[in-house]
């Protein structure tokens, strides 16, 4: 009696759909799910299953996992209540693959549904990978955190691989119960920052028997970030340095000045007309001035080291060398301060067999 | 009552001094001159020599300067029977410095020889040119000065013909002190009576100076 009522409702719905196909096609996925859910609650499981399958078929692959999971849960329950246990198990397996963390609400679904779901979940070995979308780590000391959430107890291999599939770095191989945090220090197998700008995070699930349950891959774009180094201070130019050796100008000036003035003293009487004068005192003055010029020449002789200028230049050079040393140390620190920028792509799942 | 009347004048005097101190650069020196006088006349030639004190003061303001000199001493005639004369000489020169190393001056120059019987007075108006620059570092400066008599008034029988003179020497300035030492040679030559009388005064100047007086 109950089955006949369901069949009549299904036929009426089919007739209605045939009568207004364009209107139904225009119906949104939300209304299909809502209609299916209403049918499920009205115990019209055939209609509910038909509507929910249609709803799931219209959902794109990029639809949120929570949306697909809700549809699959009601579809599995509807299939179970239709007496199609295998079909329900297949739906639940698909649900586990979509979201290993999903648990049916025990206030909504009866124990036979949750029991079947738990049985399927325990037999389905799959994982989901949760990684930060954009992050920066310090290679060696920092860590890139990878959360692996398992549907059930299983053995997991977490590896980083080159884009061609060759192994790059093995991160973890072992059992996993519920979830596991795996850390990558940003280095390759030889302990240096990665020489490539893209690797693939690969998480393989295996049953205790060794059977491959599934693979989840996440592409990781890598970029080694090195801070700019400081420019070296400009070298000292000749214009900044004082002469360290006396030039010939001052010495020549002293010598020629003394000679000129001595000559002027000696020739002064002849210039002014008083020729008959005593030459002794005059020559003494001329000699004194000449000696002063000679002394000045010796004092400022060319090539004489200029100690004050040498000290001033040494201070300048030491200051420059200190600036170079400071820049060198800062650059060495900056060269060590290498960071690895990681951008995670969309995860893709590879299943050995379909649901 | 007299004090209040004098107060404005005193205030003006001190205010003027304070204002002038900002731009006036005074200097002074005292020197010993071993002077020698040669007076050649038709009757013969007299040679006199002796020490004299030479004081000099200069007041400079920007490129103008006023120089006052005063020399006094006693010169004795050479030989065992020589008579002595008092030599007094002074100048007032107003100068202009067109270049840092060149100064042009003009002003009166008076000289007097006094003996027991009479006093010869010589008065000149001179034009002077003085060049001064450092030649041993910045401590030793050399100078050369020439002057020419452009007008004269003398109380001797011979009429004044022409006269000129000059001085060459060096000034040693001590570092970090306003003191200076000076050594030089100066000569002054005059021709009178169409060459019948030649009057020459020369001497060695050794002295110390003080610049930057407050």
Give the tens place of pLDDT for each residue, A304-351.
888 999 999 999 999 999 999 999 999 998 888 888 999 999 888 887
Say whether residue A282 is in contact with chain B using an 8 A CB cutoff.
Answer: yes
- Percentage, residues of chain A above pLDDT 70: 89
Residue A261 Cα, gap to closest chain B Cα (Å): 7
Enter the CATH code of domain A2-123.
Answer: 1.25.40.10
**What residues form DSSP beta bridges with B33?**
B52, B205
DSSP string, A255-279: HHHHHHHHHHHHHHHHHHT--S--S
Yes or no, beta carbons of A268 and B36 under 8 Å apart: no
What are the angstrom distances between the C-alpha of A286 and each of A248, A275, B202, B203?
Answer: 24, 16, 14, 13
Walk along chain B (214 residues) and give the pLDDT tens digit of each residue: 333 444 444 444 444 444 444 588 899 999 999 999 998 888 888 889 999 999 999 999 989 999 999 999 999 987 766 678 899 999 999 999 999 999 999 999 999 988 877 888 999 999 999 999 999 888 899 999 999 999 999 988 889 999 999 999 999 988 778 889 999 999 999 999 888 999 999 999 999 988 754 4
Report d(CA A68, CA A98) in Å as an integer. 8
**Residues in chain A closer than 8 A to B75 (CB atoms):** none
Q: A140-162, pLDDT tens digit by residue?
A: 888 999 999 998 888 999 999 99
**What residues form DSSP beta bridges with B198?**
B40, B191
- Please, what is the Cα angle at A93 between A90 and A95, to 5 degrees? 110
Backbone angles phi, psi at A128, to 5 degrees: -125, 150
ipTM of the complex: 0.84
Q: Is domain A127-223+340-350 in CATH 2.60.40.4070, yes or no?
A: yes
Based on C-alpha coordinates, what's the Rg of chain B? 20
Where in chain B are the domains? 24-211
Residue B1 has what pLDDT? Answer: 33
Enter the tokens of residue A211.
């059977």
pTM > 0.80: yes or no: no
Contact between residue B124 and residue B91 where contact means Cβ atoms under 8 Å apart: no
Mutation pick from B47, B138, B141, B168 vs chain A, by most beta carbons of A within 10 Å, is B168
**Residues in chain B closer than 8 A to A268 (CB atoms):** 166-168, 185, 187
Buried b (16+ CB within 10 A) or exposed e, B33-58: bbbbbbbbbeeeebbbbbebebebbb
Residue B138 has what pLDDT? Answer: 85
Look at residues A69, A353, A89, A65 and name the one whose alpha carbon lies nearest to residue A213: A353
Mutation pick from A277, A293, A301 vs chain B, by most beta carbons of B within 10 Å, is A277
Contact between residue A217 and residue A128 where contact means Cβ atoms under 8 Å apart: no
What are the angstrom distances between the C-alpha of A276 and each of A126, A269, B15, B76, B195?
Answer: 130, 8, 53, 18, 14
Report d(CA A155, CA A53) in Å as an integer. 33
Q: Strands (DSSP E) along chain A, which ranges?
A: 127-130, 134-137, 144-150, 154-161, 167-176, 179-184, 198-206, 212-225, 339-344, 348-350
Quickly count: other Cβ atoms within 10 Å of residue A305's Cβ. Answer: 9
Tokens 């610049």 sit on residue = B211
Report d(CA A287, CA A290) in Å as an integer. 5
**Residues in chain B closer than 8 A to A278 (CB atoms):** 36, 202
Yes or no, beta carbons of B183 and A285 under 8 Å apart: yes
Mean pLDDT, chain A, rounded, equals 86
Paired sense of beta strands A339-344 and A134-137, if any: antiparallel
Say whether residue B189 is in contact with chain A using an 8 A CB cutoff.
Answer: yes
Say whether residue A306 is in contact with chain B using an 8 A CB cutoff.
Answer: no
Dihedral sign, CA of B171, B174, B177, B179? negative
CATH architecture, range B24-211: Beta Barrel (2.40)
Higher pLDDT, B3 or A83: A83
């Amino acid at each position: 009696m109950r089955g006949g009522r369901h069949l009549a409702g299904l036929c009426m719905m089919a007739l209605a759909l045939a009568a207004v196909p364009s209107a139904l096609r225009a119906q949104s996925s939300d209304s299909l799910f809502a209609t299916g859910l209403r049918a499920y609650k009205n115990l019209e499981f055939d209609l509910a299953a038909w509507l929910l399958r249609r709803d799931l078929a219209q959902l794109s692959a990029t639809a949120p996992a929570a949306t697909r999971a809700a549809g699959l849960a009601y579809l599995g329950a509807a299939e179970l209540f239709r007496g199609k246990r295998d079909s329900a198990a297949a739906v639940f397996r698909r649900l586990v693959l979509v979201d290993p963390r999903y648990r049916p609400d025990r206030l909504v679904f009866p124990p036979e549904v949750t029991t079947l779901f738990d049985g399927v979940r325990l037999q389905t070995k799959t994982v989901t990978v949760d990684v930060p979308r954009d992050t920066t780590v310090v290679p060696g000391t920092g860590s890139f955190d990878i959360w692996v959430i398992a549907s059930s107890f299983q053995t997991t291999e977490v590896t980083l691989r080159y884009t061609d599939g060759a192994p790059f770095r093995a991160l973890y191989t072992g059992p996993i119960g519920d979830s596991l945090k795996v850390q990558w220090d940003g280095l390759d197998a030889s302990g240096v920052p990665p020489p490539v700008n893209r690797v693939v995070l690969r998480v393989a699930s295996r049953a205790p028997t060794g059977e491959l349950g599934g693979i989840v891959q996440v592409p990781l774009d890598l970029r080694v970030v090195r801070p700019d180094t400081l420019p070296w201070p400009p070298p000292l130019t000749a214009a900044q340095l004082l002469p360290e050796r006396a030039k010939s100008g001052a010495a020549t000036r002293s010598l020629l000045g003394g000679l000129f003035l001595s000559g002027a003293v000696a020739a002064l009487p002849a210039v002014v007309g008083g020729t008959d004068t005593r030459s002794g005192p005059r020559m003494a003055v001329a000699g004194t001035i000449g000696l002063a010029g000679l002394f000045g020449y010796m004092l400022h002789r060319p090539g004489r080291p200029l100690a004050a200028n040498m000290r001033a230049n040494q201070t300048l050079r030491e200051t420059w060398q200190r600036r170079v040393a400071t820049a060198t140390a800062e650059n060495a620190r900056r060269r060590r301060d290498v960071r690895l920028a990681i951008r995670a792509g969309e995860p893709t799942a590879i299943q050995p067999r379909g649901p | 009552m007299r004090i209040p009347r004098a107060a404005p004048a005193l205030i003006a005097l001190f205010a003027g001094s304070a204002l002038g101190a900002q731009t006036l650069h005074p200097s002074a020196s005292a020197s010993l001159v071993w002077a020698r006088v040669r007076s050649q006349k038709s009757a013969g030639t007299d040679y006199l020599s002796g020490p004299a004190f030479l004081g000099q003061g200069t007041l400079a303001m920007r490129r103008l300067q006023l120089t006052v000199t005063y020399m006094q001493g006693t010169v004795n005639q050479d030989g065992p029977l020589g008579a002595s004369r008092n030599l007094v000489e002074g100048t007032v020169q107003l100068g202009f410095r067109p270049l840092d190393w060149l100064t042009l001056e003009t002003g009166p120059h008076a000289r007097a020889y006094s003996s027991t019987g009479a006093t010869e007075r010589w008065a000149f108006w001179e034009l002077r040119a003085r060049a001064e620059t450092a030649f041993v570092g910045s401590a030793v400066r050399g100078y050369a000065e020439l002057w020419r008599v452009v007008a004269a008034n003398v109380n001797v029988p011979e009429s004044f013909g022409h006269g000129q003179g000059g001085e060459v020497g060096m000034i040693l300035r001590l570092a970090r002190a306003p003191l200076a030492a000076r050594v030089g040679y100066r000569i002054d030559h005059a021709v009178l009576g169409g060459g019948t009388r030649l009057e020459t005064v020369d001497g060695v100047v050794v002295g110390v100076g003080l610049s930057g007086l407050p």
